[in-house]
Structure 1
Amino acid sequence: MDFEELYRATYPRVLAYARSMASREDADDAVAEAYAIAWRRQRDIPHGAELAWLIGVTRRVLANARRTRFRAGALHALLDLQPRVPGPDPADHVEDGELRAALMALSPLDREAIVLSAWFELSGADAARVLGITHAAFRMRAARARRRLRAALSPTTTKESPTWNTT
């Protein structure tokens, strides 16, 4: 079955599944993403189980979207609980173009660990809650992120590194 036939044969049922699990907008987005994945992975779709495979992909796309929304909501909730005291502007830490470039060169996971601990000054436990991981996992992720950031900076950098809260 070619992709166009697969799409015509399965789309209404995949969409119905997604809409039974999420809002119309989220379902439409998830189904579009699922078919984009199916297009890229056509060879991986099991013959005779195409619908089940597509529903499984759609389910994972919806779950990922829920986790992303939860993490964003958790971050906003934690930030709302943080005391609003005047302090140094987090942007002061990245005035140096080299530091900014090194930070942007990190993977999103590494950058997120540094941003949560340095920018937002979240404790390791709070940052772990935002990310939906254990405190130990966050400490490890943050340590690796700091190591990668140091490695990305040139050895001639003389500015002190900002402190990061991972406890």
Structure 2
Amino acid sequence: MRDQQDHEWLEALFDLHATSVRAYAVRRVGPDSADDVVAEAFAVAWRRRRDVPEPALPWLLRTARHVILHERRSLARHLNLRDAVAHSLTDTATPGADQSSLALAESVLAQLPALDAEILRLTAWEGLTPAEIAVVLDLRDSAARPRLMRARQRAQRLLDEPAAPRLAPVVHTQGEPS
């Protein structure tokens, strides 16, 4: 009887949150690896089903984050990749966002410290509250709100800078007027 209830619990959990966990994963590792992240996150939920809190989504996103971080560490160890960090943004755009907005967002996020960028993604893309962000990132509840505020301030300062420094420099070769 308990086994049947556990299976029903997992099915309900998956039906309720798989789309959100996949969207989280796609934005971080791309669509090709996202399904593996989702599968592993729900496998962990199954193994730790007695420990999964309500609401479950922040816990699942934290688990997906840990899966992604573990995969990144494994790639770095086994393949000695120069860049073992997954994409901060992928072709999967947020609804209604145009390419220039995405390019600007990518530019700003790339210039921020990793934790600031992740906090902003969790707020903007996943729609999480500071308390939920604290769960995902293993922060104290009291730390999430000020970190979010500082991340927003840093991003705003980058947005307020003149656009020219973010553009690629023009290289003049011999024979061109300077």
- TM-score band by shorter chain is 0.3 to 0.5
Structure number, greater radius of gyration:
1
Return the structure number with greater helix share.
Answer: 1
Q: TM-score, normalised by structure 1?
A: 0.42
